[in-house]
Amino acid sequence: MKMAFSNLTSKAALLYDGWIKHADPRVEGFLLMSSPVPQTIIIGAYIYFVTSLGPKLMENRKPFELRQIMAFYNFGVVALSVYMTYEFLMSGWATGYSFRCDLVDYSRSPTALRMVRTCWLYYFSKFIELLDTIFFVLRKKEGQITFLHVLHHSIMPWTWWFGVKFAAGSQDSKNYTICVVVKPPYSINEKHVQMDTVNLKKNHLVIICIY
């Protein structure tokens, strides 16, 4: 049994090594890009905290008053989204990309490297946005932590790791741009619109981004 498991892990390691050698060398050294394992641990800890540990810790505590922190957070998310939209446009979508299925530019030209950095920044921003759910837990707003909400925040960084690792740019970056554009209105509206309306808008935005 032990030998069979050892053989299985060895084969899995060989398959992984053969697969990972096709990764884009331009992202070597970028935070969290060396392996999918660190982000998987982070996402697993996030799911455990927001669905189990966090609600239990808050069960007999008063909700935290986070209005000022959330205002700063929302402003930061909007500012980052605006910056990333500008960078996506200037690194391809407004300077040469078409809306056909263009091949990824794997060169080390300044524009191609700018796109790589912007794609990685978008990927990393998904970890920042995990705070959305953590704020819900700390404010005891468990009713806002829907399955779709947790699925979206869990799957986005994990899946886009592969996009950045193997194909940072070209058609793949269209999805980044869509999500970057739709994020600011959600961040702004969350404080000023009734929660049913916000949840409806959020669900539509999640569907767009996952697609």
176 to 81, 90, 182, 199, 209: CA distances (angstroms): 10, 14, 10, 22, 8
Note whether 139 and 64 are within 8 A (CB): yes
105, two tokens: 């530019």
pLDDT tens-digit profile, the chain (211 residues):
666 667 677 777 777 777 788 899 999 999 999 999 999 999 999 999 999 999 999 999 999 999 999 999 999 998 998 899 899 888 877 777 776 667 788 999 998 999 999 999 999 999 999 999 999 999 999 888 999 999 989 999 988 899 899 988 765 555 555 555 555 545 544 444 444 444 444 454 444 444 4
Residue 95 gets which letter from DSSP? T
Our CA angle for 60, 64, 66, nearest 5°, is 165
Task: Label residue 14 exposed, middle or buried (CB < 10 Å: 0-12, 13-18, 19+).
Answer: exposed
| Cα–Cα distance measured from residue 84 to residue 157, given in angstroms and rounded to the nearest whole number | 16
Please confirm, yes or no, whether 152 is among the known catalytic residues.
yes
Ranges assigned E (strand) in 66-148: none
Catalytic residue among 152, 153, 192, 204: 152
